[in-house]
Homo-oligomer: A and B are copies of this chain.
Amino acid sequence: MEIKVIRHLLDESTKRAGEIRALLDNSDIFMVNMIGSPGSGKTSLLEKTLVALRGRLGCAVIEGDVATDRDAVRLQKYEIPICLINTRGACHLEPMSIRKAIDEIDLAAIDVIFVENVGNLVCPAEFDIGEHAKIAVASVPEGHDKPEKYPLLFNECKAVVLNKIDLQPFTDFDAAAFYESVKKLNAEAPVFETSCRNGEGLQEWIEWLVDARKTAARW
């Protein structure tokens, strides 16, 4: 007996991601998918970024979290639209829930949507959620071997943020080895060394972001 496959789940997911991107393009909105390990500093980077963009670009945030509303609550003081997706244990965000979140946002005043994905270097990198750019958020205390060990994200991303650079003197982090393995996986992606504690490097990241928004259509 013949078995009919209605549609491969991943195809369906990719199709929905494409629809989201078309919707955003229509509204001239740039969507950024921030991916990194638990504790790499995604929320801190987002906080610094929101402050720096205030008055320049209209921002909204979609927060993905396994269990709590902790990060969403942390961002409330910036008085921008925030949608929380509580995955109830699931390890990544997918387009279906992203679409629901976007539908909750008044897009008229928005230029950039930041998605903070679930803290996880593996699964979130596998899913197109309709973003224009995946950003790999790594941090110094995680060690310089992470790009080599978790290659997909570093391969797919448009930029790498190497956060917690202020901790470098107290670790064995080998910056040359880090850069070399990023370059092997992705010759195009710039690396921004940042410290959300002392503000180092944030300006370069912000300027790249503002510029990337304008050039995304040509990627």
Answer whether residue A141 sits at the interface, using C-beta atoms and an 8 A cutoff.
yes
Which listed residue, B37, B91, B141, touches A167 by the CB 8 Å rule? B141
* Given known A91-B122, A167-B167, A170-B166, contact A151–B37 (CB-CB < 8 A): no
Copies held by the complex: 2
Interface of A is mostly: loop
User: Which positions 23-43 of chain A face chain B at CB distance < 8 Å?
Assistant: 37-39
Answer whether residue A16 sits at the interface, using C-beta atoms and an 8 A cutoff.
no
Answer whether residue A99 sits at the interface, using C-beta atoms and an 8 A cutoff.
no
Q: Could you say which of A47-55, A62-70, A103-111, A201-209 contacts chain B?
A: A62-70
Q: Could you say which of A4-12, A76-84, A113-121 contacts chain B?
A: A113-121
A residues bordering B, Cβ < 8 Å? 37-39, 65-68, 70-71, 89-91, 118-123, 126, 139, 141-143, 145-146, 148-152, 164, 166-167, 170-172, 197
Closest 8 CB pairs between A and B? A39-B142, A141-B141, A91-B122, A37-B38, A39-B143, A37-B37, A38-B121, A91-B123
